[in-house]
Amino acid sequence: MSAQGSTTRGSYLSERSFPFDGSVGYLSDEDWSQLARIWQEDGVIAATHGGTELKVKSGSVPDEIIVSAGRAHIRGFYYVNDADLGLVLNLNTGTSARYDLVVLRLDVSLNTVTAVIKEGVPGSPEPVLTQNESVFEIPLARLTVPANSAPVSTFVDRRQFIGRRIQVTDNGWYLAPGNIYYQPVSGRFYMNDGVGNGQPIARVSDTRVHFCTSTTRPNDLADGQLIYETDTGNMLVFRFGAFQLVNGKPPMAVLRHSIEQGAAANVGAIVSWDTEDVDNVSGHTPIGSANSKYTVQRAGWYRVTINASCSPVSGGYRQLAVRRNGNMNGNVIAQAFPTSSTVVPLSASGLMKLAVGDYLDVEFFHTGSGVCNLYGGAATRFEIEWVSPLV
């Protein structure tokens, strides 16, 4: 080790500094550990996220486990395993399962770092790691060793990966979990979230408004950042993983269906809407099986209106209901009780309290005879209009 310097005041050694060449004395194991442990936290050195460095796996026989090749840093000391390392496991002859730990053990008195199996007690929790200035252990895996000398049944990965300096890269998906990288193309910092994705790190100075369209919204903003949609005139804030309208046009939609739709007696039928006269915040899609739903993009009080005409059937009543999230309670309902078999108009309007992500649809129900049809075209309309914020 490199030599160290010291300063005495009176009869006491009060100051030390190291390492320096040419001074009296040598750097001790403890001195080196105290110095080098601040350079890096303890853990396995992984080249990529999900790497196999020092990963524990089963061996070729029941009483063997394998520690894969790899490197680690522990209390300032460097550990290297150049090839698969076999460790002998004591099979469990008891009647309850046993939990063992595979650890890297630093033993300062022996000047070694080695991979060992720290055996537990059948029927008890896993053993406690030893972590003091003489012996220090970090975990690699937890083993479930079944009773009656059965082979290991479960390997739980307990490796702790060390971080790295901030990387400069266009895409940091390959980094170990928690690593931070700088992306030159965007001028932003990201963190690898452990599943191969880069999560943006909030930047206090980034208060600019991002210009885009409703179909090209950025997907890497931090909470509180704003976008302006040039095609809709809407300004939205990114919050809790979603965009919420700040100002701009109040949401409004007028939906229709081009042809008539039928419903058998006593069976609720969900009305489809394949035509949009207007939908200024894209709450509805006229294509596919989801065209019955209007999804709320801005929280508030909405006025919803339903107008329809249904074909003649004898007896019973006719009903249209605007539902929130598929629930009939407290919603806008239109009912008619015709006295003869005639065309029946249905109309209702009312206010509904809606949150972002709520959806609206319309159910048609009748108790007459046969099939009753809702006429298409202009005869059947569903209107949604935002009128006030939540109060």
CA neighbor of 261 nearest in space, from 373, 178, 184 = 373
Q: Please state which of the ranges 29-43, 306-320, 368-382 shows the lowest mean pLDDT.
A: 29-43
What pLDDT is attached to residue 13? 57
What pLDDT is attached to residue 204? 44
Structure tokens at 118: 């720290």
Structure tokens at 21: 């060449």
Helix (H, G, I), strand (E, B) or coil at 256: strand
- Its sign, for the CA torsion 356, 357, 358, 364, is positive
Tens-digit pLDDT profile for residues 52-102: 999 999 888 888 999 999 999 999 899 999 999 999 999 999 899 999 999
What pLDDT is attached to residue 26? 67
pLDDT confidence tier of residue 47, bands split at 50, 70 and 90: confident
pLDDT confidence tier of residue 40, bands split at 50, 70 and 90: confident
Q: Could you tell me whether strands 112-118 and 252-257 are parallel, antiparallel, or unpaired per DSSP bridges?
A: unpaired
**What is the average pLDDT across 185-214?**
70
Burial letters 151-162, b for 16+ CB under 10 A, else e: bbeebeeebebb
Element (H, E) at 80: strand 77-81
Tens-digit pLDDT profile for residues 113-156: 999 999 999 989 899 999 998 999 999 999 999 988 888 988 98
Report CA 354 to chain centroid distance, whole Å: 25
Tens-digit pLDDT profile for residues 324-352: 998 877 678 888 888 788 898 999 999 99
What pLDDT is attached to residue 255? 95
Element (H, E) at 34: helix 29-36
How far is Cα 48 from Cα 219, in angstroms, rounded to an integer? 25
pLDDT confidence tier of residue 191, bands split at 50, 70 and 90: confident
How far is Cα 151 from Cα 146, in angstroms, rounded to an integer? 7
What pLDDT is attached to residue 363? 93
What pLDDT is attached to residue 84? 94
**What is the average pLDDT across 219-236?**
77
What pLDDT is attached to residue 21? 73
pLDDT confidence tier of residue 2, bands split at 50, 70 and 90: very low
Q: What is the DSSP letter of 272?
A: P
What pLDDT is attached to residue 278? 92
Task: Pick 190 or 99 by higher pLDDT.
Answer: 99
Q: What proportion of the chain, given as a percentage, has pLDDT over 70?
A: 88
Residues in the chain: 391
What pLDDT is attached to residue 205? 47
Mean pLDDT of the chain: 84
Tens-digit pLDDT profile for residues 253-279: 999 988 999 999 999 999 999 999 999
Task: Pick 140 or 31 by higher pLDDT.
Answer: 140
Tens-digit pLDDT profile for residues 153-174: 889 898 888 866 677 887 777 6
CB 146 within 8 A of CB 100: no
How far is Cα 209 from Cα 217, in angstroms, rounded to an integer? 12
pLDDT confidence tier of residue 313, bands split at 50, 70 and 90: very high
Task: Pick 358 or 166 by higher pLDDT.
Answer: 358
How far is Cα 264 from Cα 207, in angstroms, rounded to an integer? 56
**What is the average pLDDT across 36-57?**
82
How far is Cα 320 from Cα 308, in angstroms, rounded to an integer? 8
What pLDDT is attached to residue 197? 65
How far is Cα 304 from Cα 121, in angstroms, rounded to an integer? 66
What pLDDT is attached to residue 160? 84
CA-to-CA dists, residue 295 to 250, 253, 285, 348, angstroms: 14, 11, 9, 20
27-33-37 Cα angle (round to 5): 140
DSSP string, 145-184: E-STTPPP-EEEE---B---SPEE-S--TTSPTT-EEEET
What pLDDT is attached to residue 289? 76
- The residue with tokens 């910092």 is 189
The contacts of residue 200 (CB under 8 Å, 6+ apart) are 188, 189, 190, 220, 221, 222
Is 8's pLDDT higher than 50?
Answer: no
